Amino acid sequence: MTSRPRICWSDLAGASVGVWGLGVEGGANLRKLLSIGAVPVIADDRPQNADAGGLRVLSTAGGGWEALSHCEVVVKTPGISRYRPDVVALGDQGIPVVGGLGLWLEEADRSRVVCITGTKGKSTTTTIVGHLLRGLGRSCLVAGNIGRLPYDPDNVDEAEFTAVEVSSFQATDLGCSPPVVAVTSLHPDHLDWHGSVERYYADKLSACTQPGAELTIADSGSTELHAEVGQLGPRVEWVADQPAPWTEALGLLGSHNRVNALIARACMIALGVDQAADDDALGRAASGFTGLDSRLQKIGEVDGVVFVDDSLSTNALAAIAAIDAFAGRPVALIVGGADRGIDYTPLATRLAARREPTFVVTLPVNGSRIHAAITEAVAPTGPPVEVHDTGDLETAVERALAWCESGSVLLLSPAAASFGQFRNYKERSAAFRHLMETRQGSI
Of 253, 286, 319, which one is at a domain's C-terminal end? 286
Clarify whether residues 58 and 121 are in a common domain: no
Q: What is the tally of structural domains in the chain?
A: 3
Q: Is residue 292 part of a domain?
A: no
Clarify whether residues 177 and 37 are in a common domain: no
Tell me the CA end-to-end span of the chain in Å, nearest whole number: 58
For residue 353, what is the domain's CATH number?
Answer: 3.90.190.20
Clarify whether residues 72 and 115 are in a common domain: no
Clarify whether residues 92 and 109 are in a common domain: no
Neighbours of 185 (CB within 10 A): 27
- SS3 state of residue 443: coil
Of 234, 266, 286, which one is at a domain's C-terminal end? 286
pLDDT digits (tens, 9 = 90+) for 394-426: 999 999 999 999 999 999 999 999 988 898 999
pLDDT digits (tens, 9 = 90+) for 42-55: 999 999 888 888 89
Domain extent, residue 422, equals 297-441
Q: Is residue 3 part of a domain?
A: no
Clarify whether residues 177 and 301 are in a common domain: no
Share of the chain above pLDDT 90, in %: 89
> pLDDT averaged over the chain?
94
* pTM of the complete model beyond 0.85: yes
Of 98, 129, 151, which one is at a domain's C-terminal end? 98
- 5 confidence band (pLDDT: 50, 70, 90): confident
- 4 confidence band (pLDDT: 50, 70, 90): confident
Q: Length of the chain, please?
A: 443
Rounded-to-integer distance, Cα 163 and Cα 126, Å: 6
Q: Is residue 193 part of a domain?
A: yes
Clarify whether residues 216 and 254 are in a common domain: yes
For residue 146, what is the domain's CATH number?
Answer: 3.40.1190.10
Clarify whether residues 238 and 159 are in a common domain: yes
As a 3-state breakdown, the chain gives helix, strand, coil percent values, each rounded to 5, of: 40, 20, 40
Rounded-to-integer distance, Cα 278 and Cα 289, Å: 18
Neighbours of 265 (CB within 10 A): 23
